[in-house]
Amino acid sequence: MDTQVADPLVGTLIDGRYRVRGRVARGGMATVYTATDERLERTVAVKIIHPGHARDSRFVERFDDEAKTIARLTHPNVVAVYDQGSHLGMPYLVMEYVRGRTLREVLTRRRRLTPAEALAILEQMLAAVAAAHRAGLVHRDVKPENVLIAEAPSGGPDNLIDAVVKVTDFGLARAVAASSPDSSETQVMATVAYVAPELVTSGHADPRTDVYSAGIVLFEMLTGQVPYQGRQPAEIAWQHVDRDVPPPSMYAPGLPPVLDELVARATRRDPGARPTDAGAMLAEVQVAREDLGAVNTPTTVMRQIAEPTVVVSPVSPGTPVSPASPTQRPSWARLPDQRPARAARAAPRRAAATRPSGPSWRERARDLHRRLVAHPQGRIALMASFVAVVLLVAFGAWWFGFGRYTVTPDFVNLTKAQADQKAQEAGFTLRYDTGRYHEEIAKDTVIGQQPAPRARIVKGGTITLTLSLGPERYQVPDVVGKSYELAVVDLEQRKLVPERRERYDDNMPAGNVLAVEPAVNTEVKPGDKIVVWVSRGKAPITVPNVIGRNVDEAKTVLQNMGLFVTVEERQSDKPKGQVIEQSPNDGAGVEPGATITLVVSSGPPQVQVPDVTSTHSLPCAEADAALRGAGLTPKLLGNPAGIAVAQQPPPGTMVDPGAEVNIWCQ
């Protein structure tokens, strides 16, 4: 099970009914949880759409429509949809919970399957997709991850021939594609390893698109690998457009030719050359499966005099029937017209066996040649035909070798608008690939073309141009609150380099991201380092409140807790030596050895003693008023009605506010 630290949905009651028990998987569009339907007391699967899609109103509207359509699909090989709704603004589906494995997990463990196993699984896949096609739905994302395999009722986990196969995720890719304003150009929702050529070139999908993807899945089941590999998704996608899928026997020698033919039929680059929908392909798969059963069954040849050869397939009493036999398939893996299909294929063979033999084509050709040569007009006609064929071959050789070719124009360094105009004037068709980033060339400027400038090209042919995407820049994704592992995935998808740093935090669970540097949405280049601050959980020491205490007492309390103390002084109206501020504040969590900074009062600002004697001798009453006005406490000695003749402290001395000043009066 895919786990994540402190998933907030685990344990949540959705819609007052579905209690979330655990997370099963997380994908690009949604997360799947197991839940208990507390009303019906059954286990279900809940698929909750990610908030990024949930904020798109067009997606939510299309998702609701698709969910209602999918819920009407009733078929044993389709994962049933029970309910749909919205939780905290995020749309969700409640579906049948299938206890088993995905086809991807089976292939990871087994690598490849036997032909009988592959065809048994493919039959049920196509039966499910055919039901969707009849309802007007196109899956758009047929791949092993969306095929669930439940344990066979009649065997263990390795009995794949009788296992129950169910297909999931109908309509979700279509809903996402429909919500994108530029889905025709940038949204190829199918996984690139299984994408049909028409989805890459035009974004168009119909039932034949699913047939192509099913053919790739069959190729992978038989060979243990997909037909195309590449460093970039776009590179893999365009291989589907430019190349034919190789026969599976190239990678798995010994496979029967009927399987090569089946894969080739399903994966034609031209959609018109494929079976029209999943139902048509299902019929071909069932015929191929029956052919394999016939090939694997021992045969005995019995001959009679003056009678045609008869091929008899004996089955002795007690001999088990081959697993590929249609009589042993579960009811949900057979179509009603299987027997007629087999009979229809057998009829031409029987007719060919009983048809009387005649002269071969070689004998007929020799007879025609003798009759032509024996007659003068026949010889002239034969010579004229020979000359016509020579001229036609010569013209064809010139045309296909030289006449239909011209020189490719140079489009490099032109803008897209200029390239379109130049191609239109020269009579060429342009096709644009996915483009390439360039640090110096402006966006939408041609930086490459195929064929190259001045190369040979068919007149009116197609030229593929590569446009500059401008400097490659990415925004730092919002990964705050996610687990560090998921944050790394998001950053590496944008070609950024995460650097992990940790600190304690009282509010964020351990292992989750606290902050990133540079900040979220900052524009950065590929390869830039992103510092990811990860929570270590709540700190082991809680800082106490020492404000108002004497600095010595506060230092003793903090040092006894294993903390380091620094002191700063600041003037204030508080008594000298009293703590007036602390950092971190009380209640904060820190680790042993952390530094606590205390701000200690140095007392109120001192006052300068005014001069009330010597050159400024004042009557004692005025001296008293002057000292009190300066915030000091005068003490008159001698005759209060006399003149101030001396003072202590002397004039200009700095003293604390309220300090006592003695005045001698005469």
- Residue 441 maps to a domain: yes
Residue 309 has pLDDT above 50, yes or no: no
Asked whether 71 and 84 are in contact (CB, 8 A), the reply is yes
Handedness of CA 416, 422, 425, 426 (dihedral sign): negative
Average confidence (pLDDT) over 115-132: 93
pLDDT in tens, 343-363: 444 444 444 434 444 456 666
DSSP per residue, 321-341: PPTT-GGGS-GGG--TTHHHH
Residues 123 and 207 in one domain: yes
Residue 150 and residue 168: Cα distance in Å, rounded? 13
111-115, 238-242, 377-381, 590-594: lowest mean pLDDT where?
377-381
pLDDT-derived band at 616, boundaries 50, 70, 90: low
Residues 584 and 629 in one domain: no
Tell me what the pLDDT averaged over the chain comes to. Answer: 81
Residues 240 and 285 in one domain: yes
Residue 52 and residue 47: Cα distance in Å, rounded? 15
Residue 463 and residue 456: Cα distance in Å, rounded? 11
Q: Is 149 exposed, middle or buried (0-12, 13-18, 19+ CB in 10 A)?
A: buried
End of a domain among 275, 295, 315? 295
Asked whether 91 and 46 are in contact (CB, 8 A), the reply is no
Residues 531 and 632 in one domain: no
141 is catalytic: yes
pLDDT-derived band at 156, boundaries 50, 70, 90: low
Residues 272 and 417 in one domain: no
Residue 233 sits at φ, ψ, to 5 deg, of -55, -40
Of 212-216, 306-310, 492-496, 568-572, give the range with the top mean pLDDT: 212-216
Residues 162 and 263 in one domain: yes
> Could you identify the residue written with the tokens 């380092």?
529
pLDDT-derived band at 3, boundaries 50, 70, 90: very low
Residues 152 and 267 in one domain: yes
pLDDT-derived band at 373, boundaries 50, 70, 90: low
User: Which CATH number fits the domain that encloses residue 615?
Assistant: 3.30.10.20
Residue 528 has pLDDT above 90, yes or no: yes
Residues 189 and 40 in one domain: no
pLDDT at 500: 95
pLDDT in tens, 210-263: 999 999 999 999 999 999 998 888 889 899 999 999 999 999 999 999 999 999
pLDDT at 18: 93
User: Which CATH number fits the domain that encloses residue 91?
Assistant: 3.30.200.20
DSSP per residue, 240-306: HHHSPPPPGGGTSTT--HHHHHHHHHHT-SSGGGS-SSHHHHHHHHHHHHHHHHHHTS--EEE--TT
- Residue 325 maps to a domain: no
Average confidence (pLDDT) over 187-202: 78
Q: Which amino acid is at 162?
A: D
Catalytic: which of 37, 64, 141, 611? 141
Give the count of domains, the chain: 6
CB contact set of 481 (below 8 Å; sequence gap of 6+)? 508, 512, 513
Residues 146 and 66 in one domain: no
What is the pTM (predicted TM-score) of this model?
A: 0.46
> Is pLDDT larger for residue 315 or for residue 254?
254
Task: Identify the domain containing residue 21 by its residue range.
Answer: 13-96
